[in-house]
Amino acid sequence: MKALIQKLVEIPGPSGSENLIRQVIRQEIEPYADEINIDALGNLIATKGDISETGLKVMLVAHMDEIGIILTHIDEAGFGRFTTIGGVSPVNCVGGRVRFLDGTSGVIGKEKATNTHNPPTIEELFIDFGVSRRQECPVKVGDVAAFDRPFIDLGARLVSKAMDDRIGVAVLVDTLKRFQKSPHQVYFVFSVQEEVGVRGATAAAFGVDPDLGLAIDVTDTGDTPKGSKMEVSLGKGLAIKIRDSGMLADPRVVEWMINRAEKEEIPYQREVLLKGGTDGRAIQLTRSGVPAGCLSIPCRYIHTPSEMVDFQDVQNAARLLLELLQNPVRLGYAE
Amino acid sequence: MPDPHTSLRIDASQVRLLTRLCNACAVSGDEDEVRAIVLEQLRPFVDQARVDALGNVLITRQGNGRNRLKVMLTAHMDEVGLMLTHEEDKENGIFRFEVIGGVSERQLAGKRIWIGRKHIPGVIGAKPIHFSSAEELKSVISLETLRIDVGPGNSSKVQIGDRATFATQFSRLGPSLRAKALDDRIGVATLIELVKKAPSNLDLLAAFTVQEEVGLRGAKVAAYALDPQISINLDCTLANDLPALNQTDSPGEENTRYNTRLGAGPAIYVLDKGTIYDPRLIRFFVQTAIDQGIPYQIRQPGSGTTDSGSIHKERSGIPSLSISVPARYLHTSAAIARLKDWENYLRLIYAGLAGLSPAVLSEPR
């Protein structure tokens, strides 16, 4: 699975420009899916299985897009100005490298600070393409780039840009490949534009109209020096989301996931995230509402070019997801 | 045979229509005055015209021929403005008020206004310079200290909840237009013209929407109702291109945040806060502009939203594009646009519509 993860994270694919990553995912899943569709916004939707009498229509979603930047202006001297796509902090940009979809690379520089106490703003940053005039600039206003950092395998831990949410994509692809018998009909949705407001999933959830939904995304940890006050740590198992700022996970879904994890003795952690949201919210609020939750992969340094996950956590997440799908669902409706 | 697209012009009758539209008072939530003009103009031309629960005007004009694309065009009828909230002094006609939509406090003091459907005149009183302290002169006069004054004569003609707009009459200044509410009466006027001259290769669904300025609300339900295959939104966007800001005295002094420029043609959107626009539609309209020799510009990616923000996420998703007329000083008492930009805008959108087919959705993104 490490090879698959590396392949996925290194592809540039910021929100709205998911062509390359969508093609690669499609190639991976084509031999395994019953049906594959691309909807109006570009979500890649694969289905597996038929719905049995006791089964449900289940929607799983991992987002293909990553954060990035988009060019707003090329000045006379050939320097580019940009704005952000998704939650990009200027602090994480300075000195970084970006890669445009056509392969063009650039370096992010900053203007000299007038007040060294304040961190730079996006308006004070620019991209250096190594050219001297506007006419020599290989890209144009409106072109999109992702942050550029290679994948590294530290053994137990993996580091790359775009673990958010290519690691979720990897788990979903892996699950689809190993999916065998199930009472459920499962929609594997690889969504677009999550980072700019769960937009792809909003449309996909309406179209799929599921009985139950689960997002697979990363979550923060509390295990770094003077870090967030959060119980989740790398290496202690997959995280079962109870709450984030976009969604209160359906308690029945949380219970369903915990019960299965305990039954199969898969290490898990209970997750309460203070700030951040996932595609799960979009599913929960679609049409007349859907019981929804999220299976999270603990990740350090989210929205930086060096996001870190624990490989065992990832494997455990894939294990749990498969077990959840291959067994009937009893959501414990209170009558 | 002459190319039909190039014969599209902005003539005197269209400028008269835009005059009526801009001079109408239709602040978000009370779009009646503009709605009446739209219905009067279009009823003779369309298969179906109805007003929905929120006040959107929804219009269908079917084309002919096989395999027609269902295209929705939208323009918003509402403008930013004010609302009277509290009668402070009934006898003298003094009211407190709130802003509706994005109107900066800095735009208010001393302005003349019209209130309600009868355009009752009033003024937003400001303390003259003689009585202002040095400290006061440095800061913005806050909303809390401002009052609308209609005087004793008219105090019985206005009431709490009435909406008000800046009292700006439309005027032609040579190559320019000066008016309030160019955002988005210029889109409304353009859409009226496009419905009248609708090309027959597609099914045209026109939505004149309400409440765009307070959160893209009308468009959301209009998109749900009309359920188109693609959507093109007609709006008006800021040109922050004053010559003083464009001087390149030294490196790094260039105006890098102009958004759009007057005279550079219709502005095609790539990305804003609300929407990442469909790349196939962007490419299609850019190519149309190039093929037809129509000037165009790319609106700088960045802040702002259009009705596309709520449209593209509706139902199972609707590929969307916004194209706008550039104008300076939007959301103030008077904005300025160039007639030539409006004309090229009408030409570009018409040419695009005439060339659209379901094939555009089979293109790779």
Locus of tokens 């980072």: A195
- The CATH code of the domain that includes B52 is 3.40.630.10
* Residue A331 is assigned to a structural domain of this protein: no
Mean pLDDT of A192-214: 98
* pLDDT higher than 90, residue B128: no
Query: B282: pLDDT confidence band, cut at 50, 70 and 90?
Result: very high
Number of independent structural domains in chain A: 2
Confidence of residue B244 (pLDDT cuts 50, 70, 90): low
Count how many domains chain B has: 2
Q: How many CA atoms does the CB half-sphere of B103 hold within 13 Å?
A: 28
Work out the average pLDDT over B228-238. 98
Compute the residue count for chain B: 365
Same domain, A102 and A241: no
Do B159 and B190 lie in one domain? The reply is no
Catalytic sites of B, residue numbers: 212
Residues A61 and A74 in one domain: no
Element (H, E) at B238: strand B230-238
Q: Which of these three, A95, A124, A147, is where a domain ends?
A: A147
Cα of B168 vs its chain's centroid, Å: 16
Q: According to the model, what pLDDT value does residue B247 have?
A: 53
Task: Report the pLDDT averaged over residues B13-18.
Answer: 97
Residue B252 inside a domain? The answer is no
Domain span at A106 = 68-147
Q: Where is pLDDT greater, at B148 or B8? A: B148
pLDDT computed for residue B337 by the predictor? 98
Tell whether A223 and A182 lie within a shared domain: yes
pLDDT above 60 for B116: yes
- For residues A316 and A265, membership in a common domain is answered with yes
Whether the per-residue pLDDT at A8 is higher than 80: the answer is yes
In sequence order, the β-bridge partners of residue A185 are: A57
* Statement: residue A319 has pLDDT above 50: yes
Same domain for B63 and B121, yes or no, is: no
Instruction: Quote the domain boundaries for residue B277.
Output: 12-79+180-244+257-362
Nearest chain A Cα to B300, which residue? A72
Whether A335 is in a domain gets the answer no
Residues A305, A199, single domain; the answer is yes
Q: Is position A332 within any domain?
A: no
Which of chain A's residues have a Cβ under 8 Å away from the Cβ of B241? Answer: none
Q: Are residues B214 and B358 in the same domain?
A: yes
Convert the pLDDT of each residue in A171-201 to its tens digit: 999 999 999 889 999 999 999 999 999 999 9
Answer yes or no: do B298 and A193 touch at CB < 8 A.
no
Q: Are residues B60 and B128 in the same domain?
A: no
Query: Does residue B63 share a domain with residue B114?
Result: no
Which among A66, A52, A71 has a CA at the least distance from the CA of A16? A66
In a domain, B1, yes or no: no
Instruction: Among A98, A123, A147, give the residue marking a domain's end.
Output: A147
> Do both A14 and A74 map to the same domain?
no
Q: What is the ipTM of this complex?
A: 0.92
Residue A334 lies in a domain: no
The catalytic residues of A are 194
User: Minimal Cα distance from B276: which residue of A?
Assistant: A16
Torsion-angle region of B293 (φ positive above 0: left; ψ -120 to 50: alpha; else: beta): left
- Percent of chain B residues topping a pLDDT of 70: 95
Averaged pLDDT for residues B67-72: 96
pLDDT at B251 (0 to 100): 54
Same domain, A120 and A233: no
User: In this structure, how many other beta carbons lie within 10 angstroms of the beta carbon of residue A252?
Assistant: 17
CB contacts, 8 Å: B276 with chain A: 15-16, 85, 193, 196, 199
Average pLDDT, chain B: 93
Facing A70 at nearest CB: one of B279, B301, B315: B301
Question: A207: distance to nearest CA of chain B, Å?
Answer: 5
Verify that A176 and A322 share a domain, yes or no.
Answer: yes
Partner-chain residue, chosen from A18, A76, A85, that has the shortest CB–CB distance to B254: A76
Task: Give the pLDDT of residue B2.
Answer: 40
- Per-residue confidence band for B4, with pLDDT thresholds at 50, 70 and 90: low
What predicted TM-score, i.e. pTM, was given to this entire model? 0.94
The mean pLDDT of A107-115, rounded to a whole number, is 90
Query: What is residue A117's predicted lDDT score, i.e. its pLDDT?
Result: 84
In Å, what is the CA distance from B251 to each residue of A77, A78, B190, B334? Answer: 8, 11, 40, 33
Q: Give mean pLDDT, residues B344-351.
A: 98
The residue ranking higher by pLDDT, B264 or B5, is B264
Decide if B122 is inside a domain.
Answer: yes
In a domain, A156, yes or no: no
CATH code of the domain containing A112: 2.40.30.40
Are A276 and A171 in a shared domain? yes
Distances (CA, A) of A180 to A32, A256, A277, B13: 10, 20, 31, 68
Specify whether B87 is located in the same domain as B220.
no
Residue A23 lies in a domain: yes
Q: Domain check: are A206 and A315 in the same one?
A: yes
pLDDT in tens, B145-193: 899 999 998 889 999 999 999 999 999 999 999 999 999 999 999 999 9
CA distances for A272 relative to A245, A313, B152, angstroms: 9, 17, 60
Name the pLDDT band for B246 (thresholds 50, 70, 90).
low
Which one-letter amino acid corresponds to residue B4?
Answer: P
3 state DSSP class of B169: coil
Residue B171 lies in a domain: no
Q: Which of A152-166, A259-273, B246-260 has the lowest mean pLDDT?
A: B246-260
Question: Would you say residue B37 has pLDDT above 90?
Answer: yes
Residue B131 lies in a domain: yes
Specify whether B46 is located in the same domain as B88: no
pLDDT over 50 (residue A2): yes
**Is the domain of A88 the same as that of A225?**
no
Q: Is A81 found in the same domain as A43? A: no
Task: Give B252's pLDDT tier (boundaries 50, 70, 90).
Answer: low
